[in-house]
């Protein structure tokens, strides 16, 4: 049995794989004593662990300590690469790209070879363009919804509001409406720009992942919801490495 982990700085997603297929999946908080508790006693049967992470070195060390406690398997961390199986990274220094972006792009490349956009709506919103030849054309990194909300709460004076999952973009008539409608207004503008880019670059598919993916799609982002895209890419790369 194999364990695959997609870890940010605060939360992680995990998947247990048995004989090439997912057996169980779940999520956890790195603030918990054991964010893999949902996997239960099956962790004792894990023979290898593969991790994609954008966590800080301190968080990564804590994750390594946790894995050493809950299972005896070896742990491999996978990072961004220059190229793989026809997919080519646009970064000159691939070590500067978050591993989750590369693994999501690779997960998409396996099934969408007519050009695509990957949108990961997590703590930050990342957008990456890949053409039909497999060339990564570059992308964008924007503050995520929760990051923008925290910024307004902590850095702006006298703004008091309750966060809501609004898809309304009309002008607000209270502070709460102004904030929530304003975020939707911002995201709608991003979606319009993304759609225009996809048409201009002849990118056929838009794949959306991350915790706020549904919010973006409610606002009109025309795409396919792919909640486990990072893990899909990670699993494929791990399998390919094992065969070499």
- The single-letter DSSP state of residue 165 is -
What are the CA-CA distances from residue 153 to residues 150, 160, 205 (Å)? 5, 7, 36
Which tokens belong to 205?
């598919």
Counts for the chain of helices (H) and strands (E), in that order: 6, 12
Question: Active-site residue among 6, 17, 100, 128?
Answer: 100
φ, ψ of residue 12 in degrees (nearest 5) = -135, 155
Which tokens belong to 111?
């099934």
Please give the Cα distance from 81 to 134 (Å, whole number): 14
Which tokens belong to 186?
């911002």
Residue 14 · residue 25 · CB < 8 Å: yes
Active-site residue flag, 100:
yes
Which are the catalytic amino acids? 100
């Amino acid at each position: 049995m194999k364990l695959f982990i997609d870890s940010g700085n605060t939360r992680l997603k995990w998947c247990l794989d048995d004989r090439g297929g997912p057996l169980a999946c779940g999520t956890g908080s790195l603030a918990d004593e054991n964010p893999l508790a949902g996997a239960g006693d099956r962790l004792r049967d894990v023979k290898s662990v593969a991790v994609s992470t954008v966590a800080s070195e301190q968080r990564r060390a804590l994750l390594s300590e946790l894995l050493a406690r809950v299972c005896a398997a070896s742990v491999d961390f996978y990072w961004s690469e220059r190229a793989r199986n026809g997919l080519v990274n646009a970064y000159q220094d691939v070590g500067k790209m978050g591993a989750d972006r590369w693994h999501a792009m690779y997960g998409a490349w396996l099934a969408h070879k007519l050009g695509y956009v990957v949108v990961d709506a997590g703590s930050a919103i990342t957008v990456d363009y890949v053409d039909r030849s497999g060339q990564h054309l570059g992308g964008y990194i924007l503050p995520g919804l929760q990051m923008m909300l925290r910024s307004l709460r902590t850095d702006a004076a006298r703004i008091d509001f309750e966060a809501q999952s609004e898809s309304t973009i009309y002008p607000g008539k209270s502070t709460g409406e102004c904030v929530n409608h304003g975020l939707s207004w911002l995201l709608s503008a991003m979606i319009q720009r993304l759609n225009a880019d996809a048409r201009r670059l002849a990118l056929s598919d838009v794949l959306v992942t991350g915790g706020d993916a549904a919010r973006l799609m409610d606002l009109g982002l025309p795409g396919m919801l792919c909640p486990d895209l990072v893990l899909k890419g990670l699993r494929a790369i791990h399998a390919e490495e094992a065969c070499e």
